[in-house]
Amino acid sequence: MLVVGLSGGIAAGKSTATRQLIGLGIPVIDCDRVAHDTACKGAWGYRRIVAAFGPGILTETGDIDRARLGQLVFADAAARRRLNKATHAPVAVELLRQLLGHWLCFRRLVVIDMPLLFETGTYKLASSNVVVACRPELQLQRVMLRDSCSAADAKARIAAQMPLERKMQLADVVLENDSSLEQLQEQVLELVATLRKKSQSMKHWLLSPAGVAAGLLGVVLLGRAAWQSVR
């Protein structure tokens, strides 16, 4: 299974590329959705977040006040590290579970859409990593427009992430989103054609790091199910 990591800077166009990949029939694991689901009330991630920040971040109904939590972590690097520490393990387990499902279904190509792909080291699971990038001044304008915020707030949100230049250095492929939507779409089409050709090799299904990790997780889960069945 050829596993491809996809990341990018805030407002650089990663979500646009992801939607096109899905439209082309490429399986995509949305790690933002995974993080959201694992932080729902009662979930493992929820309990870890509440333990890290206290009940003050909860709404009256007991759900996590995501807007308040977001304000906390954007303004405080230490709080951001605390949140990442609380959520990384639940997200990683769910990511591997979904990879296992694709592996068992003999998928030849799967994309991991993850904003913190490089920060968390998840890029090491992938056979290839892609970054969607744009010029710094254009990124600033897009953040201000998208979030209806000041230049200072936009710069703070950009600074909260790993520098885009560093992500580009770590990536195998960079999609430049400095021009029109059509230009980005053409790059995505070329990328998909290359990845599909590469994924035809059976060794990617058997021996990719993510495939091996998913397989090992499958062995653990099957062993656990067998043990519980005889208890």
Q: What does the DSSP assignment read for 40-104?
A: STTSHHHHHHHHHH-GGGB-TTS-B-HHHHHHHHHH-HHHHHHHHHHHHHHHHHHHHHHHHHHHH
Region 38-54: what's the mean pLDDT? Answer: 94
Phi/psi at 121 (nearest 5 deg)? 80, 5
- The least confident of 48-57, 179-188, 209-218 is 209-218
Which domains are assigned to the chain?
Answer: 2-220 (3.40.50.300)
Is the model more confident about 201 or about 128?
128
Residue 208, pLDDT above cutoff 50? yes
pTM: 0.83
Contact between residue 94 and residue 38 where contact means Cβ atoms under 8 Å apart: yes
- Who contacts 145 (Cβ-Cβ below 8 Å, separation ≥6)? none
What is the helix (H) or strand (E) element at residue 217, kind and residue range?
Answer: helix 209-230
Residue 227 has pLDDT above 50, yes or no: no
pLDDT value at residue 224: 46
Query: Across the strands, what pairs with 175?
Result: 132
CB of 137 closer than 8 Å to CB of 158: no
At residue 175, the 3 state secondary structure works out as: strand
Q: Is pLDDT of 207 > 70? A: no
| Diameter over CA atoms, the chain | 62
Q: How confident is the model at residue 230 (pLDDT cuts 50, 70, 90)?
A: very low
Least confident of 54-68, 115-129, 204-218: 204-218
Query: What 3-state class would DSSP assign to 12?
Result: coil
Q: With 80 as the cut, is the pLDDT of residue 229 above it? A: no
For the segment 85-102, the average pLDDT, to the nearest whole number, is 90
Per-residue pLDDT band for 114 (boundaries 50, 70, 90) equals: very high
- According to the model, what pLDDT value does residue 226 have? 38
Mean pLDDT for all residues in the chain: 87
pLDDT tops 50 at residue 231 = no
What is the Cα–Cα distance from 144 to 107, expressed in whole angstroms? 39
Looking at residue 175, its pLDDT comes to: 97
Higher pLDDT, 168 or 228: 168
Q: pLDDT band for 219, please (50, 70, 90 cuts).
A: very low
d(CA 29, CA 18): 10
- Compute how many other C-beta atoms are within 10 angstroms of the C-beta atom of residue 137: 8
DSSP structural state of residue 161: S
Instruction: Identify which has the larger pLDDT, 157 or 215.
Output: 157
Fill in the amino acid letter for 155: K
Structure tokens at 5: 């990591």
